[in-house]
Amino acid sequence: MPSPPNTKYTKSGDIHIAYQVSGSGSEDLVLVPGFVSHLEFEWDHPYPAHFLERLGSFSRLIRFDKRGTGLSDRIGGIPTLEQRMDDVRAVMDAVGSQRAALLGISEGGPMSVLFAATYPDRTSKLVLYGTYAYRAWSPDNPSGRTEQELRATVEWIEKAWGEVGPGDIWAPSGVSDNAFLQWRARFQRLAGSPGAAVALMELNQQIDVRPILPAVRVPTLVLHRTDDRVSAIGQGRYLAEHIPGARFVELSGDHSPWVGDTDAIVDAVEEFLTGTISRPAVDRVLATVLFIDIVGSTERAAGLGDRKWRDLLGAYYALVRRELARFRGREVDTAGDGFFAAFDGPARGIRCAGAIAAAVRSLGIEVRAGLHTGECEIVGEKIAGIAVHIGARIAALARPAEVLVSNTVRDLVAGSGLEFEERGHHTLKGVPGEWRLYAVAQAR
């Protein structure tokens, strides 16, 4: 994982605004986040970290947590668009940025539109992603969200904010990735409370920047994904049609820019800002990936309480890392109770998973594990690619105390003495074709 930049603070009126600067590009890019954010925790998962690294590869990336969210001061009430613009100017002043491109994501879009129209001398270009001019449905805004849809979202936030489970409309394609779900749940808890999230959601339903769209005179790019359930694609088309000279690009995927083909989003932003696309060089290597997590972790954490759960996780982390070292595994990432590791041999990966599954019983817990061997992309200290996604999907299908592997892994360990039980053919979400999976019957 990349080392996150230092978090600093500046004052906007009486409010302390947290910000970070990363990247080494020649043009300043201010990322205006969605309705909640957390500067530091966004670096703790490979999906958002990759997104931020790519943006910083061609820009000086300036990020901040809006007042009331993340690491910025909590406030009474809900900030106005004017106050949010003050916060952007305060951060730009603090980092010595006289003029910058703005990337407004989701709820950050309307404020970015207003900022660009109000301060064209400080806005070089405007990029809008997954956003809208007016969120609420009306006869003249048929792509808007109805009162019923808003109420359903509010009920979900009040009931399940910060928990692992289905119903997340921001990144529904990530529901089979347990490590991401664990990270996402903690991100929500750190970024804002349920009450703050609900208040922001309700306020955003009232904001309407449609009348000022013709006043935006800076070059504008509108990006929107086809299956966005937070902001329908018609909202993006409306923005592009009413901002003079705006360019519209339709992409595949759902709302969260961190999930799915993140590079397609960043490629479009880079080309718009610089005129070229220059992805970093990527090496490739064959590796066996292992995903492992605790069975029933949410219920166990609730039953133990925060302190005892932290103690249990500490013992679990130490045990897993001990076994990884013993079997020459490399820790790639952790999120909550999930571990992602890589091995240079599938048999070692299987035996390591089996050793972990046996050892954690002394802690009174069970784990599930999944392995796949395939060609992976090496980007810095991380590995990525379809093989990684396959491994994560397989792990999500494993039963308690089970080590589940792909047919590729089973075939590669022939003659090792490892035994397997067939688990049938499965469709892995987002992965073409059917996959034949096997449970390890003798993992040590």
End of a domain among 274, 302, 320? 274
Three-class SS string for 254-275? CCCCCCCCHHHHHHHHHHHHHC
Q: Say if residue 379 is in the same domain as residue 268.
A: no
E strand map for 23-74: 27-32, 59-64
Q: Judge whether 205 lies within some domain.
A: yes
Q: Where are the alpha helices (DSSP H) in 14-135?
A: 46-56, 81-94, 108-118
Q: Say if residue 328 is in the same domain as residue 213.
A: no
Instruction: List pLDDT tens digits, range 63-83.
Output: 999 999 999 998 877 788 888
Q: Judge whether 1 lies within some domain.
A: no
Structure tokens at 259: 């999930």
Q: Judge whether 426 lies within some domain.
A: yes
Q: Say if residue 12 is in the same domain as residue 71.
A: yes
Task: Report the CATH number at residue 378.
Answer: 3.30.70.1230
Q: Judge whether 3 lies within some domain.
A: no
Q: Are 444 and 423 in contact (CB under 8 A)?
A: no
- pLDDT attached to residue 1: 45
Q: Say if residue 193 is in the same domain as residue 91.
A: yes
Q: Tokens 């009920």 correspond to what residue?
A: 155
Average pLDDT over residues 413-421: 87
The whole domain housing 408 covers 283-442
Strand (E) or helix (H) holding 75: none
DSSP track, 282-342: -EEEEEEEEEEEETTHHHHHHHH-HHHHHHHHHHHHHHHHHHHHHTT-EEEEEETTEEEEE
Q: Say if residue 200 is in the same domain as residue 303.
A: no
End of a domain among 274, 300, 332? 274
Given a cut of 90, is residue 60 above it in pLDDT? Answer: yes
Q: Say if residue 175 is in the same domain as residue 147.
A: yes
Q: Say if residue 223 is in the same domain as residue 312.
A: no
Q: Are 395 and 291 in contact (CB under 8 A)?
A: yes
Structure tokens at 122: 């400080």
End of a domain among 247, 274, 301? 274
pTM exceeding the 0.75 threshold for the entire prediction? no
Domain count along the chain: 2
Q: Judge whether 29 lies within some domain.
A: yes
Task: Report the CATH number at residue 185.
Answer: 3.40.50.1820
Q: Say if residue 328 is in the same domain as residue 236.
A: no
Q: Say if residue 374 is in the same domain as residue 234.
A: no
Segment among 35-39, 211-215, 287-291, 305-309 with least mean pLDDT: 305-309
Q: Say if residue 52 is in the same domain as residue 188.
A: yes
- pLDDT attached to residue 165: 66
Give the whole-angstrom CA distance, residue 311 versus residue 413.
36
Q: Judge whether 2 lies within some domain.
A: no
Q: Say if residue 15 is in the same domain as residue 157.
A: yes
pLDDT band at 443 (very low <50, low <70, confident <90, very high): very low
Give the whole-angstrom CA distance, residue 321 versus residue 344.
16
How many CB atoms sit inside 10 A of residue 51's CB? 20
The per-residue b/e assignment along 243-274, b for 16 or more CB within 10 angstroms, e otherwise, is beebebbebebbbbbbbbebeebbbbbbebbe
Q: Judge whether 117 lies within some domain.
A: yes
Q: Judge whether 359 lies within some domain.
A: yes
Average per-residue pLDDT for the chain: 89
Coil/strand/helix, residue 438:
strand
Q: Say if residue 133 is in the same domain as residue 256.
A: yes
Q: Where are the alpha helices (DSSP H) in 42-193?
A: 46-56, 81-94, 108-118, 147-160, 178-191
